[in-house]
Structure 1
Amino acid sequence: MELTLRPATPTERLYAKRQCIPIMERCGSPGILVAELDDSGTAFCSHWDIWDPAWKTPEFSVELDAMIEMLRSDQRYGPVLKNIPAMIAYCLNNQESRIMQSPEYLFRVDAGYHAYLLRCTPSELLDNAYIYAYRRDLLERHMKEAEKGIRFVTTEGKEKFRVSDGEQIRIITGGDGTRDRTARYIDAGHMELSHEWGSTVYSIREFAERLEQTGGMVIPMRSTLPDKCYAVLPSSDEIIIVKKGESGYYRTDKYGHDRAEALEVASECNERGGVTKAQTAAMLAGSLFGWEVPAADPKNYDEQGQPIKPKRHDRGNAR
């Protein structure tokens, strides 16, 4: 059996956690195998955390066993699942697989008809390997479809904005409370909103209707925006602080003698914080006009923070 092992991409990382049932079904997931390694390499205890009999076929089980055996014994692959020392060595030699600054490392394994996301946590004494199994073709198709983003619409179905799969949104309740949720793409008409304590699946129209009934609203919390930045208030040339997801601004003790100097001071502060001019322009627009408007997305600005003019479509012979 041919096998490939490589660090998982940021998109693939979204599938290396417990999924809602609709996503698991669309991706042909047999389930999640949880394994425990020891230092000697003599033990490999495992159990299924969740599984779907429709996809957990005898053919899949044979393929899975062969894949695990290769990851435990074949030097070409570490062997990453031989024991804890081997897992540590392989993870340290593949730092690009590390998930942010966490002690977890994530790899994708392709074997047979399936793709596996292998999450390694060698610092844990128990449950130090998780294997998320998917039908490879269905996983690839779902990731491709999810590139279109998740639509948030009015009750009439008119699109308000989109967020990328796995992005955060903020629900502002009728009583001005806030609830941040992670949005996952299921299909063109459905999404999952999850938080620390669980998740809920909605049709996009159903979610819009619930917001209207409760007097709430929803805004995107784009990961391409910083948590805060400095900006210059257009009406007074005052240097202000803008925070993502909040309307209005905060005053600062920074100032400039004129607009040009104020812009320079704000730009220097932002540069020290790693904030670009495009992000600054989008943050200011979001705080003034709403975070769901196109102007609050940094992709709509150039490197100098100037709006990018939309491309004119060739109308051919149309008049």
Structure 2
Amino acid sequence: MTELKISTPYAEFIVTPAVQEEQKYCFTQDMYSDARGACIGHLRGYWEGISPVPYTNWWPDTFPEKTSEFKEELAHLFHGLQSSGLLADRATMNARCNRFPSAVIKTQFRKEMAFRINTEHRIYFLRCIPHKGEYNFYLYCYDRNALMEIFRREKGLPTYCFSEHKTTHQVVVINYGESGYHPCKIRGLENIPTKELVDKLNAAKGISKAQVAAMECGSLLRWDCPAADPRNYTEEGLPIRTQSSAKEER
């Protein structure tokens, strides 16, 4: 499985395995880090005995967020995670986690899993620990805009770039963090071929072909997928072939 959809009266939440570079956000960040400043707080809990109801407590953090809308979203997400099985009990958590091998946190000495949930205003990172005698889950809540800006800087992505629409072949603008594109009219340069014009516009802003390729995939797919990272492309904007991808082609 690549994702888990959770439907609630509030909204539909999509749970995906956290990519390896982002699994660190399932842990408390350094006090002076930018990520700590984007963190609203975290909910942690554990099960004791045979009761399916976990003991939980909330730890507020640096980012100020005390609105009723946030509290309502968090409550619906938590209950949705319970009904989905991820936070039902230790045994069910373990069974659900086994469906997502890519969620394993390889830096830990025991089995721990990391997941990401995006909403309109926030990003949640869930750490599942299906072991008896300790806290079994941590749900970290971050302000979406603040954390997305941190991701952008970490990956070396621009705030926007120019691209060529694959169907109309018009010049469009892609904004980091947004789905889709925005039409763009460049007056006085209509006679220049679109691809050449796009290359010139991006070069003038110091934007590489690798960054453009990553921005295109991020706007089309998801901004947290590996294809939205310029480090996975050559200088010409071509995907870097990994050993696993090479084996698949054989």
- TM bin (shorter chain): 0.5 to 0.7
Query: Could you say if the C-alpha distance between residues 49 and 130 of structure 1 is closer, same or farther in structure 2, counting changes exceeding 3 Å?
Result: same
User: How far apart are the structure 2 equivalents of 1:38 and 1:20?
Assistant: 30
User: How far apart are the structure 2 equivalents of 1:47 and 1:98?
Assistant: 25
Measured after TM superposition, the shift of residue 31 of structure 1 is 0.8
2:91 is matched by which residue type in structure 1? P
Deviates more, 1:52-61 or 1:64-73: 52-61
Q: Is the 8 A contact 1:33 1:49 kept in 2?
A: yes
1:141 is matched by which residue type in structure 2? E
* 2:100 corresponds to: 94
- Which structure 2 residues correspond to residues 64-143 of structure 1 after superposition, within 5 A? 64-73=74-83, 77=84, 79-100=85-106, 102-143=110-151
User: How far apart are the structure 1 equivalents of 2:156 and 2:81?
Assistant: 35
Measured after TM superposition, the shift of residue 26 of structure 1 is 4.3
Q: Is the 8 A contact 1:38 1:84 kept in 2?
A: no
* 1:234 corresponds to: none
Measured after TM superposition, the shift of residue 140 of structure 1 is 1.7
Number of residue-to-residue matches in the alignment: 148
* 2:40 corresponds to: 30
Measured after TM superposition, the shift of residue 9 of structure 1 is 0.5
Of Structure 1 and Structure 2, the greater strand share is in 1
1:110 is matched by which residue type in structure 2? N
Query: Could you say if the C-alpha distance between residues 142 and 120 of structure 1 is closer, same or farther in structure 2, counting changes exceeding 3 Å?
Result: same
Q: Is the 8 A contact 1:37 1:45 kept in 2?
A: yes
- Which structure 2 residues correspond to residues 45-60 of structure 1 after superposition, within 5 A? 45-52=55-62, 54-60=64-70
Measured after TM superposition, the shift of residue 7 of structure 1 is 0.5
Query: Could you say if the C-alpha distance between residues 88 and 39 of structure 1 is closer, same or farther in structure 2, counting changes exceeding 3 Å?
Result: farther
Of Structure 1 and Structure 2, the greater helix share is in 2
User: How far apart are the structure 2 equivalents of 1:96 and 1:54?
Assistant: 32
Q: Is the 8 A contact 1:80 1:87 kept in 2?
A: yes
Structure 2, unaligned runs of 5 or more: 1-10, 158-233, 235-250
Which structure has more relative contact order (CA 8 Å, sep 6+)? It is: 2
For each residue in 1:62-86, what CA deviation from the matched residue of structure 2 results, as whole angstroms up to 9, or x when unmatched? 110010011111xxx4x21011111
Query: Could you say if the C-alpha distance between residues 106 and 39 of structure 1 is closer, same or farther in structure 2, counting changes exceeding 3 Å?
Result: farther
Q: Is the 8 A contact 1:6 1:107 kept in 2?
A: yes
CA RMSD across the alignment: 2.8
- Which structure 2 residues correspond to residues 228-267 of structure 1 after superposition, within 5 A? none
Q: Is the 8 A contact 2:114 2:125 kept in 1?
A: yes
Query: Could you say if the C-alpha distance between residues 25 and 125 of structure 1 is closer, same or farther in structure 2, counting changes exceeding 3 Å?
Result: closer
User: How far apart are the structure 1 equivalents of 2:124 and 2:51?
Assistant: 22
* TM-score, length-scaled by structure 1: 0.42
2:81 is matched by which residue type in structure 1? L
- Which structure 2 residues correspond to residues 156-305 of structure 1 after superposition, within 5 A? none
Q: Is the 8 A contact 1:39 1:84 kept in 2?
A: no
Structure 1, unaligned runs of 5 or more: 150-298, 300-319
Deviates more, 1:14-23 or 1:136-145: 14-23
User: How far apart are the structure 1 equivalents of 2:58 and 2:152?
Assistant: 28
2:94 is matched by which residue type in structure 1? I
Q: Is the 8 A contact 2:40 2:142 kept in 1?
A: yes
Query: Could you say if the C-alpha distance between residues 140 and 72 of structure 1 is closer, same or farther in structure 2, counting changes exceeding 3 Å?
Result: same
Q: Is the 8 A contact 1:36 1:44 kept in 2?
A: yes
Q: Is the 8 A contact 2:37 2:62 kept in 1?
A: no
* TM-score, length-scaled by structure 2: 0.52
2:17 is aligned with 1:7: yes
User: How far apart are the structure 2 equivalents of 1:66 and 1:39?
Assistant: 25
Query: Could you say if the C-alpha distance between residues 141 and 120 of structure 1 is closer, same or farther in structure 2, counting changes exceeding 3 Å?
Result: same
Q: Is the 8 A contact 2:36 2:61 kept in 1?
A: no
Query: Could you say if the C-alpha distance between residues 111 and 86 of structure 1 is closer, same or farther in structure 2, counting changes exceeding 3 Å?
Result: farther
**The structure with more radius of gyration:** 1
